[in-house]
Amino acid sequence: MSNYHIKHLEEYFQVYRKSVRDPEAFWEEIAEEHFVWRKKWDQVLKWDFKKPEVKWFDGARLNITENCIDRHIPTRGEKTAIIFEPNDPSEEPQHITYRELHEKVCRMANVLKEHGIKKGDRVCIYLPMIPELAISLLACARIGAIHSVVFAGFSSNALSTRINDSDCKMVLTSDGSYRGSKTIDLKGIVDKALEACPGVKTVLVAKRINSKIKMLKGRDKWLQPLLDHAYADCVAEIMEAEDPLFILYTSGSTGKPKGMVHTTAGYMIYTAYTFKNIFQYRENDIYWCTADIGWITGHSYIVYGPLANGATTVMFEGVPSYPDYGRFWEVVEKHKVTQFYTAPTAIRALAKENLEFVEQYDLSSLKVLGSVGEPINEEAWHWYNNNVGKKKSPIVDTWWQTETGGIMISPIPYVTPTTPTYATLPFIGIQPALMDENGQEIMGNQVDGRLCIKFPWPSIARTIWGDHKRYRDTYFSAYEDKYFTGDGALRDAVGYYRITGRVDDVIIVSGHNLGTAPIEDSINEHPAVAESAIVGFPHDIKGNALYGYVILKETGESRDRDNLRKEINQQITEHIGPIARLDKIQFVSGLPKTRSGKIMRRILRKIASKDTANLGDTSTLLNPEVVKEIMDNAL
């Protein structure tokens, strides 16, 4: 029997050693025993981090939806697969059984086919957190289409860039979405985006808010009548192990967003196996991840990982503050949630509110608490542990990335003793390395360095859509034969890892990964702006907030500064989305630059964080005088 479910610490160490000593034998056993295949593989692993190329289970054939849905029907047909909890607590939740999910996915898959979608085509999904969202991912996977979900908080500009980058033929959206007390005109955003997307032939629209929207003849169709008329069964397309399953965009430190490509078999196996162990999921548990399916957390740990295990997964449409700050806990009580997975930024926001919001609900069903997206600070960790977990539910601080597909470093609850702010130990099969500035691996404990991974794991992203060179340059060129994460980390005396944060120009704001370059590009498009630089600075709720340094053109000098600030943020909202707005904007006459013209962000970061006691060496700057001016006028 393979070690599919790890239950104690010695077992973890033993299985970990096995997974590192002979990764192929280890993953082969997991694949054999816990998944259904149309054809077995010819080779478990083929890899070369120089090319880079990674292939898991090459030659195998399968369909991920047969693993996530069909195979559960004989034993769990009437079990709830998805609980949909609407934005408004007075609206009834929906319980979708595995049998019903099968039918809904098949109908949707048939609708996609009727509209010309074939294996390998890209479909853009721009939907709020309603059941149609999870169903459309699975419907694409059913017929071998590649889904590209764009978070429905992104602007029309961000949406059109992503649609065009991967040549999506179709967009799935809704008439609008609810977000707390507000509604958002999603269809309007899609219409605007599509002015720049000639390749999109069809837009299928789910009805959610019953708003009056424009439907473009020949292109736009209401989804529901099509689903009602579609056939309720759809034969699954047989896919190769390495066929792409989806594209998901993430920000880089430079350039346009990177379309990370995840493939079928390895992604399925790794998300399923991590889900089972890191949430210690048992039959009849009710698992809830509060993320949006627009992010990798939702793909891997709302949809694929849970469903591959026949679990019950909650999809929440709302926000933690509506109708009040007790909403999360009300949902936990209502559905008797056993595993709860959220982001530090949400915990910090809730910790600021009255404790009564937590105390009035019965949280005794909870067994495991999860955290993801950014380092969890000690205060937030204790608040979560004391008030939500009542000191009896272990907190799993899970470190991973869009690129890794699944959780990489994390405690296993009830197995690994936890320490606040530590993601603790590498998960089974994961071989981390800390690297120094000279490219050497730092051995031993009580050390810190740049976090790399030395050996492929099944759910590593295989490429960047349309740009394999960028994939190699970004992840495999900094350190020879290693995947570079972009994060710094330390390893303590017992070998536990603590992630210390990004070491590149990516800034994590409220758990969202933002690259500096696209935001600076957006600011620079303002007619009054000559140049700009943004950095992150510590913020009690968001973790980091954005601080912009802006040089005005001569024509901008006479303008009202507060109006300019508003216009700049408005522009960022339109280009990227509200998550990328700047908290502070300082107008400066110059930016500190090296002699080769590179902005010295290190100095700007220190000024923004009010940590100017030791600015480090500024003598190599082209324009050292500008530093004093910026410091004197810092916000």
Q: Which of 3, 202, 345, 513 binds ligand WT7 (CB under 6 A)?
A: 513
Residue 423 is a binding residue for ligand WT7 (CB under 6 A): yes
Residue 288 is a binding residue for ligand WT7 (CB under 6 A): no
Distance CA 250, CA 475 (A): 13
Strand ranges across the sheet with 368-372: 94-97, 80-85, 312-316, 286-289, 339-342, 368-372, 395-398
Distance CA 112, CA 581 (A): 36
Residue 510 is a binding residue for ligand WT7 (CB under 6 A): no
Residue 375 is a binding residue for ligand WT7 (CB under 6 A): yes
CB of 206 to ligand WT7, least distance (A): 26
Q: Which stretch binds ligand WT7 (CB under 6 A): 213-221, 369-377, 470-478, 606-614?
A: 369-377
Look up residue 35 and give its two tokens.
């998944």
Cα 489 off chain centre by: 20
Question: Considering beta carbons, is residue 500 or 524 the nearer one to ligand WT7?
Answer: 500
CB of 295 to ligand WT7, least distance (A): 6
81 torsion bin: left (phi>0), alpha (psi -120 to 50), beta (else): alpha
Question: Considering beta carbons, is residue 124 or 509 the nearer one to ligand WT7?
Answer: 509
CB of 383 to ligand WT7, least distance (A): 16
CB of 374 to ligand WT7, least distance (A): 5
CB of 473 to ligand WT7, least distance (A): 17
Q: Which stretch binds ligand WT7 (CB under 6 A): 377-385, 454-462, 485-493, 624-632?
A: 485-493
Q: Which helix (H) or strand (E) holds 62?
A: strand 61-62
Question: Considering beta carbons, is residue 297 or 393 the nearer one to ligand WT7?
Answer: 297
Question: Coil, helix or strand for 235?
Answer: coil
Q: Which of 63, 87, 250, 277 binds ligand WT7 (CB under 6 A)?
A: 250
Cα angle 457, 458, 461 (rounded to 5 degrees) comes to 90
Q: Which of 65, 342, 485, 571 binds ligand WT7 (CB under 6 A)?
A: 485
User: Packing angle between helix 516-524 and helix 561-575, nearest 10 degrees?
Assistant: 120
CB of 506 to ligand WT7, least distance (A): 7
Question: Considering beta carbons, is residue 374 or 520 the nearer one to ligand WT7?
Answer: 374
Q: What is the DSSP letter of 14?
A: H
**Segment 384 to 403, residues that bind ligand WT7, using CB under 6 A:** 397-402
User: 396: which strand partners?
Assistant: 370
Question: Considering beta carbons, is residue 309 or 402 the nearer one to ligand WT7?
Answer: 402
Residue 165 is a binding residue for ligand WT7 (CB under 6 A): no
Distance CA 426, CA 399 (A): 9
SS3 assignment for 220-234: EEEHHHHHHHCCCCC
User: 205: which strand partners?
Assistant: 173, 222
Residue 486 is a binding residue for ligand WT7 (CB under 6 A): yes
Residues that bind ligand WT7 (CB under 6 A): 250, 296-297, 372-375, 397-402, 423, 485-487, 499, 502, 508, 513
